[in-house]
Amino acid sequence: MTSTSGARAAGPRPVPETASGLRIAPQRRTPCLARLDRSRVWRPTRAVRVGQRVVGVRTTGDESADSVVEGLLRPRRVPTLDGVVPAHFSVELAVADRTAAPRRGLHLVYRDHEVVARRREPERLLADLLDLLDSAGHPDTVGLLAVRATAVVRGSTAVLLPEVWHGRLLLHQERLLAEGLDLRTARSHLLDVDALELVDRSRPTRAVRLGSWVLRTAEDAERIRPALAVQAGFGSVVNADTLGAGSALRMLAAVLTEVPAGAVGAVPDSALVDRVRGLAHHPGRAAGGRPPRGVAVGEPRAQTQMTPAT
């Protein structure tokens, strides 16, 4: 593999289309990903179909563990593209030799270079992997808004939180469950703009109402300005290319017109679960503690001044 050097990352690879109409998902090469490539002995990358895209999955571990992953992925496999598709997901499985085991003795899944799932039980990790693969197909969904965020569900209401909190919250799942909070494994989520619901594509009858969307922005205000809210949210939309940037912005604006949007700054690890608990038990409350108004985005002037975050 060719690695990049310096702080500047290379652009995404082209997205070739296969003879069957499937498209290989792009991947952005970064120095962090190059270090992950070098730091483990990875088995050959397998091509796996998700929606109309193909992503790559590779593993490290002994042959028996690798064969379990192969059996899990077999119904989705596209063997003709093995070795062609980049490694979008890397599965690091603990082995008997503790000197070769993953950090903290955990089984891990990386998306590109970032840890997106960690478990002590391999069976639960593989279930997480399937959820993550399903989420990777979201960009091809038409008519729904696909966003990258951390989703916490309490009863029938979901709160979307900054994506960067997801990895940290995975370490506190038992505490969250004790508080009646369900942390969704995937970090890509589908929003039904008309119904204002978070849609579970594998279980469509399990859609939950979107209560609020807490964005991580530079402004730590009680009420986030309309244009800033849409701009910050647009950076989370992963299917803007499929929908078209204009349609994606209009759909996002429609969501934020009805759903309260808040803004939070940096939160220390020691206070993170308490902050999530407060947000989930009082949907619509921003960092200041009072319910913010629904974001109004009807002013054309505010929208024309926006520069979408990419």
Residue-by-residue pLDDT tens, the chain, 310 positions:
333 333 333 433 444 445 456 788 877 788 888 999 988 889 999 999 887 789 999 998 778 778 888 888 988 899 999 888 999 999 998 764 444 444 557 889 998 888 888 888 888 888 888 878 876 765 555 578 888 888 999 888 999 988 888 878 888 888 888 889 988 877 788 888 888 998 876 555 567 899 888 887 765 455 677 777 888 888 888 877 767 788 888 888 888 888 887 777 677 777 888 888 888 877 654 433 333 333 333 232 233 233 333 3
| Domain layout of the chain by residue ranges | 23-136, 140-304
Distance, in Å, from the CA atom of 206 to the CA atom of 200, rounded to the nearest integer, reads 6
Distance, in Å, from the CA atom of 106 to the CA atom of 125, rounded to the nearest integer, reads 10
Distance of CA 35 to the CA centre of its chain: 22
Tens-place pLDDT, residues 16-25 = 445 456 788 8
- Proportion of the chain in helix, strand, coil states, percent, rounded to 5: 35, 25, 40
Three-class DSSP category at 158:
strand
Distance, in Å, from the CA atom of 152 to the CA atom of 150, rounded to the nearest integer, reads 7
Please name the fold of domain 23-136. Answer: Sulfite Reductase Hemoprotein; domain 1 (3.30.413)
